[in-house]
Amino acid sequence: MSPEERASIRSQRLAKLEAMRAAGTDPYPYRFDRDRTVGELRAEFDVLEAGSETEVSVRIAGRLMLKREQGRLTFGQLRDRTGEVQLFVSAGVLGKEAFAEFNTLDRGDWVGVEGLVMVTKKGELSVKVTSYELLSKALRPLPDKWKGLADVDARYRQRYVDLTVNDDARRVFEIRFAAVDSIRAELRERGYLEVETPFLHLQQGGATARPFTTHYNALDLTTYLRIALELPLKRLLVGGFERVFEIGRVFRNEGIDTRHNPEFTMLEAYEAFGDYNEMIELVESLVSGAALSATGATSIEVHGHVIELAAPWRRVTMVDLIKEVIGVDIHPGMDLAEARAVLDGLGLSWKDSWGSGRCTHEVYDELVESKVIQPTVVLDHPRETSPLAKPHRDNPHLVERFEVIVDGRELANAYSELNDPVEQLLRFQEGAAQKAAGDLEAGDVDLDYIRALEYGMPPAGGLGIGIDRLIMLLAGVESIREVILFPTLRPESGLSEDDFRPA
């Protein structure tokens, strides 16, 4: 054994395991019956005064986060999912032998303890340990107790360690789960049914994006991982479900950066008999409700300015917003040459295949969206860029669609849903032609969906919210990887079975 190996923390701890086993103790026992959580303990005994001793015996369990040995007295810090409490471990109480044994526990070990509730002279609620049990040995040491784990690569790859030692990481995910819970609860309250639809799709559709493909052996078929939830959910409107939603992973085979992870979470909700006007009120309510329940407030401070998420949000049409923000007139109904001239004048490039609508959208996307900070409902998009939305009732160049922009980014997207099968088929065919011409993001003709529409889909409003982006906003983080538990990373190198030898 080399000096390095002899000194390695892991070998020392493996040796402790062997010693325990030799003494007839299982270092990985099957269970521990606790009678309360740390949070419950705190709630129950917070009234005690400094110096109190009680005869109340409790059983708690958690991870040992800190150990302070002090001669014949040892203090520990035990954490479970609800919080931390101090362990007061005295040689006088435990007996010399058990006390010495307790001191062989390592920071990071999972332990169960039984003890009497007390408060130290300094006022720290503690459990005076009368017996304890190792529940699971940690062979690897926890990172620095001051700095935690700072290396972002390690934080993402070993999220279990990140969550153990970095309070900020835990906080972000608490916000995430609270926000999603809030959204789910509100939709259910509104009579929406939560459903699950297939991840494996036979056609590419519901959004314009490059899909992942996979092969299904039993059917000898190429299938796509879904890029959107839209088309199955709208089939359910045809089936009479009237109000449905799904919160689920979608997959897009595109770049990875601070705003994009190849798998991410979408909420889509559809409501029969309404149109996009209902969706405005719905998204305002879902987002401000999620903010309130996840962070305790509807206003959020993001790099220097305060964003107010409470309803109502500003409503403005895309054409008016472009005019307002950059002082330029462009609209989907204008002459194509004129629209191109506008783009040229702004230094934006255009493609031959684009109509005035696509040109209008380009200006909005490139120059306007990023400048909008407060929640803004941007209404009435070009027909050309929205193949699943219903034509605008007052303007043939537009569709009834809005996006919500917050802090310069798109947070939600909604339409009055297109339910005319003849029109929908035409839109699909346009997409399929683009796909045939090499556009990897364009969709297929989904004939079954058209057939569904031919049976009749009620008029409906639909809404999509990018959950990850919402959480980024609520948690105030700049990278999508911070809000996804296990973000997509390249394979790790350098991990070898040699590092896991049992001795």
Q: Which two tokens stand for residue 459?
A: 């008029």
Rounded to whole angstroms, the Cα distance separating 40 from 132 reads 19
Q: Which is nearer to RNA, 66 or 297 (CB)?
A: 66
Tell me the window of 235-243, 303-311, 393-401, 477-485 that interacts with RNA (CB under 7 A). Answer: 477-485
Whose structure tokens read 């409700």? 289
Give least dist CB 181 to RNA, A. Answer: 21
Considering only residues 100 to 159 of the shown chain, the ones binding RNA according to CB under 7 A are 104, 106-107, 120-124, 126, 140-154, 156
Tell me the window of 68-76, 189-197, 280-288, 334-342 that interacts with RNA (CB under 7 A). Answer: 68-76
Strand partners, 264: 250
Give least dist CB 114 to RNA, A. Answer: 18
Question: Looking at this protein, which amino acid is placed at residue 60?
Answer: I
Give least dist CB 189 to RNA, A. Answer: 26
Q: Which is nearer to RNA, 203 or 413 (CB)?
A: 413
Tell me the window of 41-49, 283-291, 307-315, 405-413 that interacts with RNA (CB under 7 A). Answer: 405-413
Rounded to whole angstroms, the Cα distance separating 196 from 229 reads 9
Q: Which is nearer to RNA, 59 or 157 (CB)?
A: 157
Question: Can residue 454 be called a binding residue for RNA (CB under 7 A)?
Answer: no
Q: Looking at 8-68, list the stretches that DSSP marks H as alpha helix, in order from N- to C-terminal side.
A: 9-22, 38-45
Q: Which is nearer to RNA, 400 or 410 (CB)?
A: 410
Q: Which of 40, 441, 450, 459 binds RNA (CB under 7 A)?
A: 441
3-state secondary structure at position 131: strand
Question: Can residue 479 be called a binding residue for RNA (CB under 7 A)?
Answer: yes
Q: Which is nearer to RNA, 54 or 104 (CB)?
A: 104
Query: Which residues does 308 contact at the CB level (< 8 Å), separation at least 6?
Result: 298, 299, 374, 375
DSSP 150-208: --HHHHHHTHHHHHHH-HHHHHHHHHHHHHHHHHHHHHHHTTPEE----SEESS--SSS
Rounded to whole angstroms, the Cα distance separating 90 from 214 reads 60
Rounded to whole angstroms, the Cα distance separating 321 from 432 reads 32
Rounded to whole angstroms, the Cα distance separating 232 from 251 reads 16
Rounded to whole angstroms, the Cα distance separating 369 from 177 reads 28
Question: Can residue 386 be called a binding residue for RNA (CB under 7 A)?
Answer: no
Q: Which of 54, 214, 258, 299 binds RNA (CB under 7 A)?
A: 258
Considering only residues 352 to 381 of the shown chain, the ones binding RNA according to CB under 7 A are none
Tell me the window of 72-80, 176-184, 287-295, 414-422 that interacts with RNA (CB under 7 A). Answer: 72-80
Give least dist CB 232 to RNA, A. Answer: 18
Q: Which of 191, 240, 255, 296 binds RNA (CB under 7 A)?
A: 255
Question: Looking at this protein, which amino acid is placed at residue 84?
Answer: E
Q: Which of 85, 86, 342, 387 binds RNA (CB under 7 A)?
A: 86
Whose structure tokens read 């895309």? 318
Give least dist CB 74 to RNA, A. Answer: 8
Backbone angles phi, psi at 41, to 5 degrees: -60, -45
Query: Which residues does 442 contact at the CB level (< 8 Å), separation at least 6?
Result: 204, 208, 431, 432, 434, 435
DSSP H or E stretch at residue 283: helix 276-295
3-state secondary structure at position 191: coil
Q: Which of 324, 489, 495, 501 binds RNA (CB under 7 A)?
A: 489
Q: Which of 24, 92, 304, 347 binds RNA (CB under 7 A)?
A: 92
Question: Can residue 466 be called a binding residue for RNA (CB under 7 A)?
Answer: yes
DSSP H or E stretch at residue 414: strand 409-416
Q: Which is nearer to RNA, 240 or 304 (CB)?
A: 304
Q: Which of 25, 492, 495, 501 binds RNA (CB under 7 A)?
A: 492
Question: Can residue 311 be called a binding residue for RNA (CB under 7 A)?
Answer: no
Give least dist CB 46 to RNA, A. Answer: 15
Considering only residues 312 to 351 of the shown chain, the ones binding RNA according to CB under 7 A are none
Give least dist CB 376 to RNA, A. Answer: 14
Contact 36/60 with Cβ under 8 angstroms? yes
Rounded to whole angstroms, the Cα distance separating 454 from 457 reads 8
Considering only residues 181 to 220 of the shown chain, the ones binding RNA according to CB under 7 A are 207-209
Closest CA relative to residue 285, chosen from 316, 315, 310, 314: 310
Considering only residues 261 to 300 of the shown chain, the ones binding RNA according to CB under 7 A are 261-262, 264
Rounded to whole angstroms, the Cα distance separating 362 from 382 reads 11
